[in-house]
Structure 1
Amino acid sequence: MIMATKMLKPESADYAAYLKKGIAYHQYKLQMAEDLVSNPDAKLKDYININLHRMQRVEKTFDISSALSGQIANLKFKINWLVLTEHWCGDASQTLSVFNKVADASNGRITMKMLYRDQNPELMDVYLTNETRSIPMLIQLDENMNVTGTWGPRPLAAQTLVKQLRSNSATAANYTTELHLWYAKDKQKSLEAEISKLIFRANLSRSGSLS
């Protein structure tokens, strides 16, 4: 049975409550490891196992550029990142570690909390991608809980690639293979550029210039 969810408007969501409910990255990984052991679905267990290894690889290989490091260091105010995700999500496994590294490097200027999509459908339905509950979806908030930007479910170049692959019957079935090859070649550089734009939008909002 499909349960109806109450549609929220962005301005009516209680973001402070969602942030309080959210979990930190290290806790998310611990719960992910527990899910790997206890999940009864063999296919989902495979996804979770692969995703844990991807996250560990990104943690080891990704380094923040000097340009983004400088941008983070110049933040004079607090940013909150609220991320809707799930353990089985392949795009999350390629991106959450990067967002976490940036948050860690901010010395408290950026706080990141994760929420499970399927436990928070009313919030997810505010941030649909082409009418679908695509994840990860990051909501950027200032210290007053105003939305200053969103990101998701993947970098624009990857989103364009997926659209092309899924529209072709010859590549639609195996599009995820090509997607993760793209991530491997890109080395999170596209994502880093989009994170920089998110932070820039936060600065515009703070100065009153964000339309």
Structure 2
Amino acid sequence: MINTIKQALENSFSFADYRKKVTNLIAEGKSTGHTQSDDLLKYSELNETRMNRLEKTIEVTNEVKTKLQNLDKKYIWLVLSEGWCGDAAQIVPVIYKMAEVTDKVELKIALRDDNDALMQHFLTNGGKAIPKLILLDAETLEVVADWGPRPHGAKQLILDYKAAHGVVDEPAKIELQKWYLHDKGISIQNEILEMHEQVLS
């Protein structure tokens, strides 16, 4: 596991470099990941717009800021993501904003398809759902906890929709984006903080 983590960290990007990578690929008519399609490119373009907006509008709450600044030691937040993923577009900018308010957290983003060995350790119901935040002790690189791929409210919305309609279709994705819009990143902040607090308790 430790070698898999080290390899993923070597392959990882800063948030700025991740954004640049996604943008450059879109300019070439491509998406991140090992599969290419018109749909994935379309989602990547849509997510680019979302992330630009979120970077400008998301604010870390004072409570979260204070608690992050007072963490007991240094951590690495290693996030598995892809540019075409709608949830990642809503969540990764919030994670970035949180990491920016404290010197106790270093954010690294690794592409899911390029780091399959790591992804296999963090499957959700047997699937490679992303984004996935892996909390590492910065000194030992030990996995302390993990979070993702969605905040509880968003996860419940999709479960309820699937129970009612049998599928997760385009209207479901629209409802999900509305949920993120109304939530303003608050659930993500609180749940990631909660993960840290559970580690300390």
TM-score by length of 1: 0.85
Superposed counterparts of 1:1-211, under 5 Å: 11=1, 13-40=3-30, 41-107=37-103, 109-143=104-138, 144-169=140-165, 172-173=168-169, 174-202=171-199, 204=200
* Runs of 4+ that moved beyond 6 A: none
**For residue 88 of structure 2, what is the amino acid of its counterpart?**
A
Change (3 A) 1:124 1:171: closer
Q: Decide whether the 8 Å contact of 1:51 with 1:93 is kept in 2.
A: yes
If you compute each CA radius of gyration, which structure gives the higher value, 1 or 2?
1
**For residue 128 of structure 2, what is the amino acid of its counterpart?**
R
Structure 2 distance, partners of 1:121, 1:17, is 11
Structure 2 distance, partners of 1:26, 1:140, is 20
Local SS of the residue matching 2:164: coil
Structure 2 distance, partners of 1:60, 1:76, is 29
Q: Deviations over 1:83-113 (max 9, x none)?
A: 1111100000001011111111112x10111
Deviation for aligned residue 1:141: 0.6
Structure 1 distance, partners of 2:86, 2:198, is 27
**For residue 29 of structure 1, what is the amino acid of its counterpart?**
R
Return 5+ residue gaps in structure 1 as ranges: 1-10
Structure 2 distance, partners of 1:134, 1:124, is 9
Structure 2 distance, partners of 1:12, 1:57, is 36
**For residue 21 of structure 1, what is the amino acid of its counterpart?**
N
Identity %: 32
Structure 1 distance, partners of 2:155, 2:100, is 27
**For residue 61 of structure 1, what is the amino acid of its counterpart?**
T
Change (3 A) 1:130 1:170: closer
Structure 2 distance, partners of 1:63, 1:131, is 33
Deviation for aligned residue 1:70: 0.8
Change (3 A) 1:24 1:92: same
Deviation for aligned residue 1:149: 1.1
Cα RMSD over matched residues? 1.6
Q: Decide whether the 8 Å contact of 2:79 with 2:108 is kept in 1.
A: yes
Deviation for aligned residue 1:13: 4.7
Structure 1 distance, partners of 2:56, 2:109, is 21
**For residue 39 of structure 1, what is the amino acid of its counterpart?**
G
Deviation for aligned residue 1:45: 1.9
Structure 2 distance, partners of 1:201, 1:16, is 25
Structure 2 distance, partners of 1:35, 1:55, is 16
Q: Decide whether the 8 Å contact of 1:80 with 1:112 is kept in 2.
A: yes
Q: Decide whether the 8 Å contact of 2:4 with 2:118 is kept in 1.
A: no
Structure 1 distance, partners of 2:189, 2:127, is 25
Structure 1 distance, partners of 2:4, 2:127, is 22
